A and B are shown apart, each in its own frame.
Chain A
């Protein structure tokens, strides 16, 4: 289910003295099964852009076409677009409101007016997909840990069976273990279900370890749109717009400056290790 963005412009508070343009001439196309990281400094417009994909924002200038449907067309059923493009928000507290886990997850399918047994089935399936134990289904929402809340929020969106999943900074505020769990859930969703993932994050380490393609947004414009490795090889530019690089990339860069023969664009610790080992062996370092 492809998404096509053509010459998209967007302003907040249109028609008031506070008008502020936040997106400028965005062109973009997203194919089935991609895993795309969207990065950019705070207030670069990445969230506003992503909220165009599920018609939370409707373009006034330019077009957004989801699965062949123009979101600005009056004939388009926006609710069905929102079911096809799921959106998980940064703070699960905004999203969760039903008393128990299963009731909250059932909210989306209920809005689709599905029969009761189908809803049940979907709730169970979604809980399995995010690794929530069955015993949690009657658990009070407020009794959940931060990581469980996030998984419930993701399950609530998955229960609508989206083909595209937008994840807006979903690991913020979690501890290392909680973060790791969410990351592996997302990785599995992409690997097993082939769901298209749009992963918005402030953590370059997370983006680097998961995404295949990266879109860099700065001041409302797309300034890079390329394979992950190629994007992170341009670290000077990333730094100049105020982004921090993955720690491991910085480390490798420093080692290169210290005279080690290492490739650019290393994205995770395992890659780093094998290339350092290779370099050391080549230098015939005694063990």
Chain B
């Protein structure tokens, strides 16, 4: 019984690789660019290039590729369902029909759409996982805070938002552990979570989430009191212990990103989209 074992999103794996040592702002900006480019990639050629670059990134980060892939496992059912939906439901007027099943028709357009969306989600997940695996929560939030600062001028409470994120990330593991304890306590009294049909299984989750929510609210209350006792009154008037500094390796990273983006944009423009 180990719930936290397969969670890779939001987990930081300390290391000394060239990617680990980049300024968090560089990494966050790069990840954002990679994700935006993903949204425009609509050909297998583009995804080939993305796959190559992502593989290179994983290699540079020194993180075992098996560990990154393990994190994809829990998403598999969702991906399969999405793929099937697209296969049967997405249609263009002139597409070829591959086969029929009951009242549904699988089309060639649907197949490509399913593939594209699945690839998109896969790489989106891989890029974000890679970001959190190589960046500690603290530098991640420091980076975000610094990047979001200009938005304060248009009234976005960036400091408060980042503080919320800091706390949320701190409590993800605590809540996961708590969930594990609650499930164990239920199993100890004879609940078999792995038996029964879907509805029965869902019903069994009720006694699990109730204590979890109650516990979470209690924690939140105590946390608010503790923050108040340490003079927290929102972002105003707060100073920071650390300031971020860029180095020459951030410059090289920017060049690599620029080159890669250029090539990818060229591929996106010049290759006919598959759909």
Q: Which A positions have Cβ atoms within 8 angstroms of B?
A: 12-17, 51, 54, 56-57, 78-79, 82-83, 86-87, 89, 91, 93-98, 107-108, 111-112, 156-157, 160
Contact = CB atoms under 8 A, between A and B. Distances in A.
Given A56-B188, A94-B215, A111-B190, A16 B5 contact: yes
Nearest to B14: A17
Interface residues of B, number: 27
B103 to A, nearest CB: 41
Contacts of B191: 111
Contact of A94 (B64, B67, B178): B178
Contacts of A156: 189
Interface stretch (B24-32, B206-214, B263-271): B206-214
Given A16-B70, A17-B64, A157 B188 contact: yes
Interface string B1-45: 110110000000100000000000000000000000000000000
Interface in B131-160: none
B210 A97 contact: yes
B192 interface: yes
A56 B189 contact: no
B91 interface: no
A51 B184 contact: yes
Give the top 3 A-B pairs by smallest Cβ distance, nearest first: A111-B190, A108-B189, A87-B188
A82 B207 CA distance: 18
A13 B207 contact: no
A94 B211 contact: yes
A17 B190 CA distance: 33
Contact of A97 (B70, B178, B211): B211
Contacts of A95: 182, 185, 211
A98 B185 CA distance: 13
A83 B190 contact: yes
B11 to A, nearest CB: 8
Interface of B: 1-2, 4-5, 13, 63-64, 67, 70, 178, 181-182, 184-185, 187-192, 207-208, 210-211, 214-215, 218
Contacts of B208: 97
Given A57-B1, A83-B190, A94-B185, A17 B211 contact: no
B187 A82 contact: yes
A98 B210 CA distance: 9
Nearest to A78: B192
Contacts of B182: 94-95
A131 to B, nearest CB: 21
Contacts of A16: 5, 67, 70
Contact of B5 (A13, A97, A107, A160): A13
Given A94-B178, A156-B189, A160-B189, A107 B214 contact: no
Contacts of B184: 51, 56, 87, 89
B188 A54 contact: yes
14 contacts: A17-B13, A51-B1, A56-B188, A57-B1, A78-B192, A87-B184, A87-B185, A91-B181, A93-B218, A97-B207, A97-B208, A108-B189, A108-B190, A156-B189
A112 B192 CA distance: 11
Nearest to B133: A17
Contact of B190 (A12, A13, A51, A160): A160
A107 B207 contact: yes
A96 B182 CA distance: 9
Contacts of B190: 79, 82-83, 108, 111-112, 160
A17 B208 CA distance: 29
Given A17-B13, A93-B211, A93-B215, A56 B67 contact: no
B189 A89 contact: no
